[in-house]
Amino acid sequence: MSRAELIATMQSKFEAAGLGYETLKVFGAIRCNVHVTCTSRDTANKWAELLGSVFKGSNVKIVPTVWEAKKNLGGNLNPTMHKGFLIAVAA
């Protein structure tokens, strides 16, 4: 199985995990990186548990973050932002 197939398989399995997310990215050429953004702290903790069980021994980080909303209700000088958490692991 090639690296791209492995990453695509992991992406689909994480999407089917049943946990909510705003964005989910699985990528990497040398090592596997997973970045998940969500708005709830409880959901962020559940993602951290899942990633910690998949990538044993890796350090899973939960970091507060903001990102631009898909639909901007402000102007270009005051874009609509969402607050949430970035869950990241590199294994």
pTM greater than 0.85: yes
Q: Which of 56, 58, 44 is nearest to 87 (CA)?
A: 44
User: Mean pLDDT of all residues in the chain?
Assistant: 93
CA distance 57 to 8: 23
Tokens 């507060």 label which residue?
64
CB atoms within 10 A of CB 89: 21
For the segment 40-61, what is each residue's pLDDT rounded down to a tens digit?
999 999 999 999 999 999 999 9
Has residue 1 got a pLDDT over 90? Answer: no
Class of domain 3-90: alpha beta
Tokens of 41: 């702290």
Domain boundaries, the chain: 3-90
Question: Per the structure block, which two tokens stand in for 22?
Answer: 């705003």
